[in-house]
Amino acid sequence: MKLTKLVAALPDEKSFSSARPYFNHAVEFKSIFSAAERAKMLEQVGFNVFFFPSEMITGCDLLSDSGTTTMTNEQWAALHLGDEAYGSNKGYFLLKEQIKATFGEKFFNEHTANLQNAFIFHQGRACENALFSVLGKLGPGLIIPSNGHFDTTHANIEANKIAALNLFSHELKDEDSNSHFKGNMDIVRFKELLKTRHKNIPVAFLTLTNNTGGGQPVSMENIKEVSKISKSYDVPLFFDACRFVENAWFIQQYEPGYKSKSIKAIIREMFSYVDGFTISFKKDGLVNMGGGLFLKNDGLFVKKYPKIPDALTNYQIVKEGHPSYGGLSGRSIMTLAAGLKIVTREEYITHRINQVLDFGNIMKKKGIPVLTPIGGHAVYLDVNRFFSDTLMKAEDFGGIGLTALLLAAYGHRACELGYFAFGQYDKLNGKEILPEVNFVRFAIPRLRYEKQDLDSTAEAVKILYEQREKIPKAKVVYGRELPLRHFKARFEMK
């Protein structure tokens, strides 16, 4: 009997729990801290989990998937080959070729071309500030709509006196909806807005995946439709492309016609519909630091605003560095070029998303109310449903108490992204202006944790869910009225 025949008759390895597509090359042991020590430290930092020393985290640190990637062997090797020349370092040319291969030829001109259309920044928010500060100078009354602006994007737009508008899909809040693309832009509201205000819209944005909107993906159909409508009103369209590969995976899995297309081909199609994009490479760039702003060299944006690329170059030189390194060291550029090669591999992205889905489904099976379908980079716990049968009120910020107790008792760190993070305190009437969504986010760092780690987080959340009556209410003792208050505030537990 031939071995190949025997093998073919056995169940396929993908039909049961398969091994990870990578193995550990190096490991780091955690420090040991007790729950009592963590609780004491939380009191010292005013129960703001951002200020909690990461060294004391004995469970999973799910505060963010941004910049928390474990780099691969190839990336560490590339780091050592970093060229720290001031002008036109070796990594810059590798990155240029990799950006063109990943997103399309038109997003990175030769460095000697008159039109600079690729801008390297140290992270996503620096790109946002560059873009919105030059757009803000176009005049008053501008609006930038999106399917959901991320908090720093929102803040950077408004800091430049432009109104940031979120047009979340109505399906996002519809628990009965089975849509796989709850991150979509609300097309009806987008059309209405453009009909009356298109002259005030310098650019429209689609965030892939929609981080503020539960990490939900955007369909190719929605991208195409938004692009068509924008074009018809002469409004350029940009992606906030931080999680472009994760978004492409959902299109491949769930959108009719894409099952047999490769992730790489889907990405190319997605980017064919936009005139530019901002990106934090700390997500799907698989690096710990890095960002970029890219303009399509024959897109509507550069045609409509021919002076803006030069204004961006001036901004970059003054605030970050020469265009050939921007805000990054030569070695960081090398790790980014290597990271972008890995992230589009089918086995990487399939494992990555399945890990997040598995974690979300385990939470769901335990009865914990999480947003479904589960998104690509994080599991979002619905705080309102979590506390629905308790005395917790909106102004008690249940998500803050939950994250504090989870960290103190079990050593897992998550992040409140809800009534406190996105809400605002109205000083005039002493009331909170509540946002549409109220989540605690468990963001999964890339290539960092194993199933056993995440199972332990789910178990810890379940224990707290069963004892939800005991979760303390939060009293804000500092920073309630400040912008971006969740990064700075201090609390007491009632």
Interface residue list for ligand PLP (CB under 6 A): 66, 123-125, 150, 152-153, 207, 211, 240, 242, 280, 282, 291
The CA distances from residue 196 to 143, 192, 262, in Å, are 12, 7, 39
Q: Give, to the nearest 10 degrees, the angle between helix 73-80 and helix 330-343.
A: 160
CB of 2 to ligand PLP, least distance (A): 51
Which lies closer to ligand PLP via its Cβ, residue 127 or residue 308? 127
In the complex with ligand PLP, which residue's Cβ is closer, 337 or 405?
A: 337
Query: Cα separation of 417 and 437, whole Å?
Result: 8
Question: Nearest approach, Cβ of 446 to ligand PLP (angstroms)?
Answer: 13
Compute the chain's Rg from CA coordinates: 23
Nearest distance, CB of residue 135 and ligand PLP, angstroms? 16
Give one word for 308, left, alpha or beta, with left for phi > 0 and alpha for psi -120 to 50: alpha
Question: Least Å distance between CB 136 and ligand PLP?
Answer: 18
Q: Are 190 and 162 in contact (CB under 8 A)?
A: no
Kindly tell me which of 171 and 240 has the beta carbon lying closer to ligand PLP. Answer: 240
If the CB atoms of residues 123 and 372 are measured against ligand PLP, the closer one turns out to be 123
Nearest C-alpha neighbor of 376 from the set 146, 180, 222: 180
The closest alpha carbon to 303, from 97, 105, 101, 106, belongs to 106
Both tokens of residue 48? 């703001």
In whole angstroms, how close is the CB of 94 to ligand PLP at the nearest point?
21
Residue 200: count other Cβ atoms within 10 Å of its Cβ: 18
Nearer to ligand PLP by C-beta: 66 or 230? 66
Closer by beta carbon to ligand PLP, 437 or else 474: 437
Which CB atom, from 213 or from 401, has the smaller least distance to ligand PLP? 213
> Least distance (Å) from ligand PLP to the CB of residue 441?
10
How far are the Cα atoms of 130, 167, 405, 460 from residue 423, in angstroms, in the given order?
26, 17, 21, 27
∠ CA 6-10-15, nearest 5°, is 155
Smallest gap from Cβ 291 to ligand PLP, in A, equals: 5
Contacts of 480 (CB under 8 A, 6+ apart): 425, 489
Smallest gap from residue 443 Cβ to ligand PLP (A) = 9
Helix ranges (H only) for 198-255 are 220-232, 244-254
Residue 336 vs 464, nearer CB to ligand PLP: 336
Residue nearest to ligand PLP (CB): 124
